[in-house]
A and B are shown apart, each in its own frame.
Chain A
Amino acid sequence: MNNTMTISKEKRRSRIITTLIYIFLVILAIIYIVPILWVVITSLKNDSTLMLSPWAMPEHIEWGNYAFAWTKGHLGTAMLNSFIVCSITLIVSMVFGSMAAFAIARLRWKLSKLAMYYFLIGMMIPIHTILIPLFVQFSQWHLSNTLTGIIVPYITFSLPITIYIMVGFFEGIPNELFESACIDGCSVYKMFTMVALPLAKTGFMVTGLMSFVANWNELLVAMVFISNDAKKTLPVSLTKFVGPYHTNYCQMFAAIMIAIIPTIIAYVAFANQIVEGLTAGAVKG
């Protein structure tokens, strides 16, 4: 009798605690979602109604704000540029990175450990430090104001993490697989393409995701290297469109929406994979 009483008391207490936890989590979720919802709502208003009641729902939906931001704000161009830059960076850094990782993890040479440390040091160097020398150098090479001029540093900064993660994956492949490939008469290049690469798919997903997200959102390098409106990437176009021109707020909100919508869509579709992938990458880093 006494025993059951305490159990039900315990149960009630834990139920209250669970409810409190949920209330806390929901409030927090609201803090995360409301600002973004506010942007959505405001981006569909016009300025005159915005100033009167910034938090009210729009009376007439103004799609024109989006059209303005897309064309006059150069966000359409910018999105294309961002996509080109991120895709090329992704591919090149994966190819170069996995090749180097294979050499470090599988090939036998004296300096492989040293090479690994060399790349690892790169992870600690903030891009700010090399911004000025790169700016000077790329100016002389006529790479400033071209997309190539930002792709090259992006690849370089994606390399260390790519190599580090891929080394982990390649080292995890059982030696027997390579030995049997060797008996089958595979060359070392075939071993890389036929044995190592197919077994490191997860590694590619993780590193690819990290590099794409980081470069899609990168502002500083792109801002320093790109002068021409036609070459700007998304974060730069957004910054430079919203900053000085904000006489029409609703159009600015539409611009912000355009900038984050692709990421949100991708995120909603693949949230679990993205979160797990990025976390796996960060854990390893």
Chain B
Amino acid sequence: MDKLMRNKKAIILFIAPALILFTAVLFIPVCKAVYYSLCNYKINYQPKYIGFKNYVMLFTKDKTMAIAFKNSIFFMIFSIVTQLIFGLILAALLTNIKKGRNLFKNIYYLPCVLSSAALGLLWMFVFMPRLGINQMMASLGWIEDCTMGPEWLFNTDGFIILPIWVISFVALWQYVGQSMMLYMAQISGISMDIYEASYIDGCSKKQSFFYITLPLIKPMVATAMSLNAIGSLKFFDLIYNMIPEGFLSHKADVIATHLYTQAFKFSKLGYGSAIGVILLILCLIMTVIINKFVKTESYDM
């Protein structure tokens, strides 16, 4: 048996396809991206090594990058906080009702499996001045006519502009189902005995939620948080489809859309790679922070 499982030929045969594909299509390109990010590389020309110039430019001169960075960080914080709160509330409510739990659960989860591209377009139409919400507000008499309503996707005032808020809420709408399900899965894993014991000790339902449920699902909070953090840093589809190209003078850009514009609209492959490397570093940092921070705490108790 042991000899069989140490069969070198078999090991290589089993691991090779995945390993090679993984190395060629993921690992080597990451190294290449790092190299390109140190180059002046326009499409149809050869890359030319220029050291850290791209990064210096990104951090000191590129105003759109500053905006994209701000928006991405905002997205991340917004989605971590709101998904945690709403996900927990929904999970708690749904585990406490008897009838229709499945139905509600499935309805809230639906947008998670639909294409963000399609949903982005859908919401773009909803927020279009002449078409969606403003028309409804006008017909209800809340506003004079549809052109007077809020410029949902076009107002560029303020530190975090209105379109970013709107898109944040759409993202919450789309993905809160996933957080909800993660928490529900964890809650349903908690043994009923613990709750019963707590009721005997005189705990109310509310108390048992705060003193039993919350502490016990902490590891899942870490999982959900890092999913949210990385997901929102990589955020592209919704925003690309809700704000048409070139609208708003890049004020609603996030890191991913900035990368796309620089690399594939303006053909600056080296500069785009630098943005990609920064995105990679951000993702790694966030994973480490969340896992260290949330998980160690859960060991403490």
Contact = CB atoms under 8 A, between A and B. Distances in A.
CB–CB under 8 A between A and B in the complex?
yes
Interface of A: 18, 21-22, 24-25, 28-29, 31-33, 35-36, 38-39, 42, 50-51, 53-55, 95-97, 99-100, 102-104, 106-109, 115, 118-119, 122, 124-137, 152-153, 155-157, 159-160, 163, 178-179, 182, 187-189, 191-192, 213, 216-217, 219-220, 224, 234-236, 238-239, 242-243, 249, 252-253, 256, 259-260, 263-264, 267, 271-272, 274-275, 278-280, 282-283, 285
Contacts of A36: 122
A68 to B, nearest CB: 16
B7 A188 contact: yes
A124 B287 contact: yes
Contacts of B14: 99-100, 102-103, 107, 192
A55 B136 contact: yes
Pairs A-B, 3 closest by C-beta atoms: A100-B18, A103-B14, A133-B32
- Give the most central of A28, A115, A252: most B CB within 10 Å: A28
Interface residues of B, number: 95
7 contacts: A24-B93, A29-B107, A126-B276, A129-B276, A217-B117, A235-B237, A278-B178
Contact of A97 (B18, B29, B255, B283): B18
Main DSSP-derived SS at the A contact region? helix
B115 A216 contact: yes
A53 B139 contact: yes
Contacts, number: 273
Contacts of A217: 113-117, 237
Contact of B22 (A28, A128, A156, A285): A156
Given A107-B11, A219-B237, A263-B113, A272 B106 contact: yes
Given A125-B30, A153-B25, A217-B114, A39 B122 contact: yes
Contacts of A278: 112-113, 178, 181
